[in-house]
């Protein structure tokens, strides 16, 4: 048996020994974790089902129909449009 194999088995032997003073999560910790995992799975499944029912259509932009000032008139007025907001990029 090689040195690395004997070192690996030595680590396994120390892992097999149980220290009675050591606190571990045990079966209760596993059950709590499993319950939380199942709850998250159920919530995600429910969320996906509800998001599939959403029928959202964006309303058309009311400012898209109004003519915009040209860039030369917007620059002369300080870069602000008729509403006092900075002029955005032109839409085609």
pLDDT tens per residue, range 34-88: 999 999 999 999 999 999 998 888 888 878 776 666 655 555 555 555 555 566 5
Strands (E), 1-92: none
Rounded-to-10 torsion of CA 10, 13, 14, 15 = 120
Output the pLDDT for position 58.
84
pLDDT tens per residue, range 2-35: 667 666 666 655 666 777 888 888 999 999 999 9
How far apart CA 57 and CA 66 sit, in angstroms, is 22
Q: Are the C-beta atoms of 69 and 81 separated by less than 8 Å?
A: yes
Output the pLDDT for position 72.
56
Output the pLDDT for position 40.
98
Q: Are the C-beta atoms of 79 and 86 separated by less than 8 Å?
A: yes
Give the max Cα distance, the chain.
88
């Amino acid at each position: 048996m090689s040195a690395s194999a004997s070192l690996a088995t030595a680590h396994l032997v120390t892992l097999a020994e149980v220290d009675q003073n050591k606190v571990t999560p045990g079966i209760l910790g596993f059950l709590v974790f499993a319950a939380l995992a199942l709850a998250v799975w159920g919530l995600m499944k429910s969320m996906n089902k509800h998001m599939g029912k959403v029928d959202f259509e964006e309303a058309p932009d009311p400012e898209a129909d109004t003519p915009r000032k040209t860039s030369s008139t917007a620059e002369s007025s300080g870069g602000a449009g008729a509403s006092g907001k900075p002029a955005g990029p032109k839409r085609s």
